[in-house]
Amino acid sequence: MKLYEEILERTPNYISAKLRWLLLSCTSENKVIKDEITELLERVDDDLDVRSFYGWYVKKFGKKHQISTDKSKDIESEHHRDTLNKHDSHDCYALVSLGNIYCSLAREIKDTTKKDQYYTRAAQLYQKTLTIDSHNAFAAQGVANIFADKKQSGLALEIYRKVRDAAHDVTTYLNLGHCLLEVKQFAKAIESYDIALNRFGNGSDSKFLNFLSRAWLLRGFSEKNLEYFKTSLDLIKKANDSNPIPTFKFNVAFVQFQIADFVRKLPPAKRTLEGLEKIVMDLEQAIKSLEELSENDRPPYPAGDLKLRVNAGHALTKQLEKIIQEQRDYEIEFQNKLKEAKKLKEEEEQKKLEAKLQEEEEKRLQEEKLAAQRRELEEKAKEWNQLRLEEEKDQRDQMDEDDVPKKKRGGGRKAGGGRRGRKKKEDFVVSGESSGESDSDLFGDEDDNDDSTNRRKRKKKQQETPKRRVLQKKSKLSKEVIDDSDEELSDDDDLFGDESEAEKSNNDNDDPMPDATADDEEPATAEPVHHNKKTAKIVDDEEDDE
């Protein structure tokens, strides 16, 4: 403001600066600029910017600043007609403004013939504007307004959306919200109003809040949701607090009446005693507000209609008091049923818990029983293993005791001293290695060169029990004696000529160590007949062992 004032002091004929200063004065500082604008218009009557600003000022602040005392005279429309007729017939602002005036007259008049005439005249003015400026968004929006008033919402919405994308203007969002409400798209209408409120109204514009409250109220009626009614009431209260005018005060009372009537029709299960008591208090406040408005000099509606609403409010209050008592009884009964249900549920849960605990106890006892049986079986198994180990130990001890005398006898024979003891030791080793061959020569059971049979015998000998091994040792000792006896018999046969030379050569070849035996052995002292009997007996023992 100070900057523009300094500019105007230096250049008082700077029209654009003067218009900006007047705009800020009437909008920001709420000054009455009727005299300044009238003086400027008289000084530069042919300036279209000044004429356009004067038309806007008359529309916004004409009644507030009391520009004209003649109510029958429409200063705005006459001003725009003078602009078109006397100065410029192609002034777009004047054409659009005059078209808006015709639309407003068409909405207010009830005569359908005149209504259609006004809409037609407005459409002609908008069409002329679009002919001059095809991108004029305000003229296009005027055409959409006519379609919306004619209940052609589809065409109107199509134009509104195009204008919204082209022009960033608050009226576009407001008109789009109005049209969406007509087609019952409440959520989208609320979104459009909310954008207008936050972008252009700083979140506190009373006019936008009123539109938004209306949208929430209609949505509450449509979806029968009490929360939507409460949202509508909060918004209209906020609008009334920011701009306490009779219209907003009436709207607050109206929403309170609607909430009371809506709750009255709800079933007891969908309402609460506290909510009913608060609604009764709001209804009493609404009745008081209507009484005050009926006594006002300039009521928003006729005083008679307001008084009728007051009487209806008193009747509604009595109904709500009765409903409150019913709701109290219902909630008491409901609480009793709820307590009983909780008690039954707790008892049922207790029974389930006891059954579960009993089942767990039985399961635990069963597990303990099985564990005891397992421990008993394990102890028995340990006892059996211990007994088996003791028996095996006793058997080993017994076998060790049986082996001790034999070892002693064998040692005595070896200790005989001299060349004879060494000979027997060598014979014992030789006979152990060639026992298979000697048996084959005597009885013809196996082949001389059967290596696989010898391997099986050796493996079998390794797997035999200690008793078997003791018997084998005895067998080897017996074979030793047999070998000695055979040698003595062979000598006797040579003496008496019982064998041929071929047999002698075969016997010599069968002896594994002929030279050592011939050199070391001494002549046998036993009789041949006695040795033959002993040989037969030992062979029988070997067959039994095998």
| pTM for the structure as a whole | 0.60
The rounded distance, in Å, linking the Cα atoms of 438 and 442 is 6
Q: What is the pLDDT of residue 33?
A: 78
- Nearest-angstrom CA–CA distance, 96 and 162: 18
Can you tell me the distance from the alpha carbon of 184 to that of 153, in angstroms, rounded to the nearest whole number?
Answer: 11
Long-range contacts of 122-131 (CB under 8 A, 24+ apart): 122/146, 123/99, 125/95, 125/96, 125/98, 125/99, 126/95, 126/96, 126/99, 128/95, 129/92, 129/95, 129/96, 129/99
> Which region holds residue 69: left if phi is over 0, alpha if psi is between -120 and 50, else beta?
alpha
Q: What is the pLDDT of residue 431?
A: 39
What stretch of H or E contains 29? Answer: none
Token digits for 339?
Answer: 């307590």
CA–CA separation, 438 vs 480, rounded Å? Answer: 10
Q: What angle do CA 251, 255, 257 make, to 5 degrees?
A: 115
- Angstrom distance (rounded) from CA 111 to CA 99: 19
Contact 92, 136 (CB under 8 A): yes
Helix (H, G, I), strand (E, B) or coil at 495: helix
- Residue pair 302/286 in contact (Cβ under 8 Å)? The answer is no
Query: Alpha-carbon distance 505 to 483, whole Å?
Result: 17
Compute the distance between CA of residue 257 and CA of residue 305 in angstroms, rounded to an integer. 14
SS3 track for 213-231: HHHHHHHHHHHCCHHHHHH
> What integer pLDDT is reported at residue 311 of this predicted model?
92
Instruction: Give residue 466's pLDDT.
Output: 45
Rounded to the nearest 5 percent, the helix, strand and coil shares of the chain are 80, 0, 20
Locus of tokens 């000697």: 438
* pLDDT averaged per 10 residues in sequence order, the chain, 546 residues: 81 86 79 80 84 86 69 76 86 91 90 91 93 91 92 92 87 92 93 92 89 95 93 94 92 94 90 90 92 87 90 92 90 89 91 92 93 93 91 86 61 43 40 40 42 51 46 44 44 42 42 40 41 42 44
Q: How far apart are CA 197 and CA 203, in angstroms?
A: 5
- Rounded distance between C-alpha atoms, residue 229 and residue 221, angstroms: 8
Fill in the DSSP letter of residue 72. T
Model pLDDT, residue 315: 92
Amino acid 408 reads: K
User: What are the C-alpha distances in Å from 188 to residues 193, 235, 245, 478?
Assistant: 9, 18, 28, 123
How far is residue 110's CA from residue 116's CA, in Å, rounded to a whole number?
10
